[in-house]
């Protein structure tokens, strides 16, 4: 009897010790994203996961000698941000490239290109990106404009959306593009009345020149990738969904993973190809088995149903203001068959669809796949969804299809107001980027950035979704203000809903016991301040699996070990 009692005494402290925290965050205003317990003061971390959430006194009780105590001093914290659609390596490489975004006139574009050419007199190619259609008179640049800025250089400049290229005469010559060259399938070489190329290549024709531009050496990419990770962590990102794939880039990601340097979790997609050869599917399966998380995970395929609005390649039911309806890249039958093939194999499918016709086709393909395979809960996604028909919105909820949209696509800048909306015509322009209507239809909506198309700075994205104005606050009251959403809805789309959209809501997206300790601490309570304050709000601390991946220099507190 005495022995048994002694054993009990020894066992209780041991069992209790197993539940002590490595780290606690106390005295915060913490939004958990968990509807059952939306607001707490404190959170405890053990190893890489959340041990408990609750009041400061409850969580303090989990500290022991050596537990790291972070006093949030009333600051706001929430689940780490998740960007549901970006192109990470492209974004990382763009940090040091010739960037033309922000240039709103031909004169500004000229200055950027001229300065870059002067600073890089010996590079074989002047390669850059980010120009917007609205910066040019008539909504499209010309060969003559480029030759006037940098005569006799090889120049390749991709538009901000990646679907159009502006190239020089030497570049056209090097690619062998003459009057006799026919347009490649799914692309166009713009020509003047004489049939000569005007320096503008659309869609698949971009490749005629892009394939000649030397890609950065692996070590350059490695350095850029590391820099991109630092930037993402400084924006409060803890997870991203990759919307493109490259075997060489994967080697770099794997290397950084091995070096324990991956500051952001990756959910990766591979290209959805029609009638994939057996070796392609075998490779996809190999990746899916090799990388199962929590830092790198495969499981999605991505395909394109159409192009983009500005170059009138997004597929529409009704003609654009200047004519043409765009053309889907697939017949419905081919799309149905291909989606069903990947659905059957357990993949989550991402379909880029921007025009109303492409969106309707994507929804139908998902409906057919579920029927043909008897599958449920695949959480297939449509990417962008810029101009859906109102009657198609309820289909998202009915079919369990996720709306993967990009908050900054509603940024009403010059390109948006002067080119994008007029291209659509007034009826469709009024219902573009309908974030509120998508929410109201009951769909799960996940936010992303499409970086480098737009910045992956999440707080800017939230600001845009909430105000539908530019950072300067124009137009007053917001563009199509009926589709503004609350800061809480926007935050949910960047956390819980994005986790759901990556089929990872069991391990992330909310702050709850057992989930990964991925969180971000901000300078202000973004759910309480006026919307203009969102742009002044700063990320103070980003935590991934319990470890800091970013600390602001201004961080007003230090964490201290408990005594």
Q: Where do contacts with Zn ion occur on this chain (CB under 5 A)?
A: 243, 450
Q: Which is nearer to Zn ion, 149 or 206 (CB)?
A: 206
Q: Which is nearer to Zn ion, 243 or 309 (CB)?
A: 243
Between CA 132 and CA 155 the distance in angstroms is 17
CB of 448 to Zn ion, least distance (A): 8
Between CA 34 and CA 36 the distance in angstroms is 5
CB of 554 to Zn ion, least distance (A): 33
* CA dist 26 → 80, 168, 238, 518 (Å): 17, 59, 21, 16
Q: Which is nearer to Zn ion, 54 or 303 (CB)?
A: 303
Q: Which is nearer to Zn ion, 167 or 243 (CB)?
A: 243
Q: Which is nearer to Zn ion, 413 or 450 (CB)?
A: 450
Q: How many CB atoms lie within 10 A of CB 319?
A: 12
Under the phi-then-psi rule, with left for phi > 0, alpha for psi from -120 to 50, and beta for the rest, what region is 374? left
CB of 370 to Zn ion, least distance (A): 25
Helix (H/G/I), strand (E/B), else coil: 44: strand
Residue 241's closest CA among 439, 548, 414, 447?
447
Q: Which is nearer to Zn ion, 177 or 231 (CB)?
A: 231
CB of 492 to Zn ion, least distance (A): 22
Contacts of 226 (CB under 8 A, 6+ apart): 256, 261
- Adjacency order of strands within the sheet including 49-54: 49-54, 42-46, 23-26, 68-71, 560-561
CB of 450 to Zn ion, least distance (A): 4
CB of 235 to Zn ion, least distance (A): 18
Q: Which is nearer to Zn ion, 203 or 450 (CB)?
A: 450
Q: Rounded to 5, what percent of the chain is helix, strand, coil?
A: 35, 20, 40
Identify the helix (H) or strand (E) that includes residue 406. strand 402-406
CB of 53 to Zn ion, least distance (A): 34
Q: Which is nearer to Zn ion, 243 or 315 (CB)?
A: 243
Q: Count of residues for the chain?
A: 563
Under the phi-then-psi rule, with left for phi > 0, alpha for psi from -120 to 50, and beta for the rest, what region is 50? beta
Residue 435's closest CA among 357, 505, 509, 487?
487
Cβ–Cβ < 8 Å for 443, 402:
yes
CB of 138 to Zn ion, least distance (A): 26
Q: Which is nearer to Zn ion, 76 or 451 (CB)?
A: 451
Between CA 473 and CA 27 the distance in angstroms is 34
Q: Which is nearer to Zn ion, 352 or 428 (CB)?
A: 352
* CA dist 18 → 15, 53, 282, 353 (Å): 5, 17, 43, 50
CB of 384 to Zn ion, least distance (A): 8
Q: Which is nearer to Zn ion, 308 or 401 (CB)?
A: 308
CB of 243 to Zn ion, least distance (A): 4
Between CA 261 and CA 246 the distance in angstroms is 20
Cβ–Cβ < 8 Å for 387, 356:
yes
Residues 214, 217, 220, 221, Cα dihedral to 10°: 80
CB of 501 to Zn ion, least distance (A): 14
């Amino acid at each position: 009897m005495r022995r048994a009692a002694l054993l009990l005494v020894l066992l209780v402290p041991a069992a209790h010790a197993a539940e002590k925290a490595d780290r606690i965050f106390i005295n915060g205003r913490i939004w958990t994203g968990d509807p059952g317990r939306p607001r707490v003061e404190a959170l405890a971390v053990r190893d890489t996961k959340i041990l408990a959430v609750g009041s400061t006194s409850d969580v303090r009780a989990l500290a022991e000698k050596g537990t790291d105590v972070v006093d949030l001093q009333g600051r706001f914290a929430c689940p780490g941000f998740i960007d549901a659609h970006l192109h990470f390596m492209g974004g990382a490489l763009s940090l040091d490239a010739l960037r033309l975004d922000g240039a709103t006139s031909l004169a500004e574009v000229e200055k950027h290109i001229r300065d870059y050419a002067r600073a890089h007199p010996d590079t074989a190619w002047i390669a850059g990106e980010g120009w917007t259609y609205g910066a040019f008179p008539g909504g499209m640049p010309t060969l003559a404009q480029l030759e006037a800025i940098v005569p006799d250089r090889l120049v390749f400049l991709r538009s901000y959306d990646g679907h159009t290229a502006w190239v020089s005469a030497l570049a056209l010559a090097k690619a062998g593009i003459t009057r006799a060259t026919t347009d490649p399938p799914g692309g166009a070489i713009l020509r003047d009345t004489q049939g000569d190329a005007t320096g503008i290549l659309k869609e698949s024709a971009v490749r005629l020149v892009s394939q000649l531009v030397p890609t950065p050496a692996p070590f350059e990419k490695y350095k850029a990738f590391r820099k991109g990770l630092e930037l993402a962590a400084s924006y409060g990102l803890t997870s991203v969904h990759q919307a493109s794939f490259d075997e060489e880039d994967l080697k770099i990601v794997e290397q950084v993973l091995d070096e324990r340097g991956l500051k952001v979790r990756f959910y990766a997609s591979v290209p959805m190809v029609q009638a994939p050869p057996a070796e392609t599917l075998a490779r996809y399966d190999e990746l899916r088995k090799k990388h199962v998380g929590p830092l790198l995970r495969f499981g999605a395929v991505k395909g394109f149903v159409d192009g983009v609005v500005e170059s009138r390649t997004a597929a529409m039911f009704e003609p654009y203001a200047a004519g043409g309806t765009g053309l889907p890249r697939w017949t419905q039958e081919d799309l149905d068959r291909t989606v069903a093939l990947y659905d059957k194999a357990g993949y989550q499918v991402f379909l880029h669809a921007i025009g109303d016709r492409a969106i309707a086709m994507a929804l139908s393909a998902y409906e057919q796949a579920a029927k043909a395979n008897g599958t449920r809960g695949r959480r297939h996604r449509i990417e962008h969804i810029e101009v859906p028909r109102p009657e198609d919105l309820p289909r998202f909820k009915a079919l369990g299809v996720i709306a993967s949209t990009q908050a900054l696509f509603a940024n009403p800048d010059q390109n948006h107001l002067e080119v994008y909306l007029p291209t659509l015509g007034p009826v469709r322009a009024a219902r573009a980027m309908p974030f509120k209507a998508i929410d109201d239809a009951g769909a799960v909506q996940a936010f992303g950035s499409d970086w480098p198309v737009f910045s992956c700075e999440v707080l800017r994205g939230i600001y845009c979704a909430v105000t539908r104005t530019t950072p300067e606050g124009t137009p007053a009251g917001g563009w199509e203000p009926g589709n503004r959403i609350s800061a809480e809805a926007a935050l949910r789309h960047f956390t819980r809903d994005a986790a759901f959209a990556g089929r990872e809501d069991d391990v992330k997206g909310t702050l709850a016991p057992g989930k990964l300790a991925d969180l971000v601490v901000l300078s202000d309570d973004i759910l309480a301040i006026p919307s203009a304050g969102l742009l002044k709000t700063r990320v103070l601390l980003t935590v991934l699996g319990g470890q800091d991946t970013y600390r602001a220099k201004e961080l007003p507190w230090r964490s201290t070990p408990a005594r």
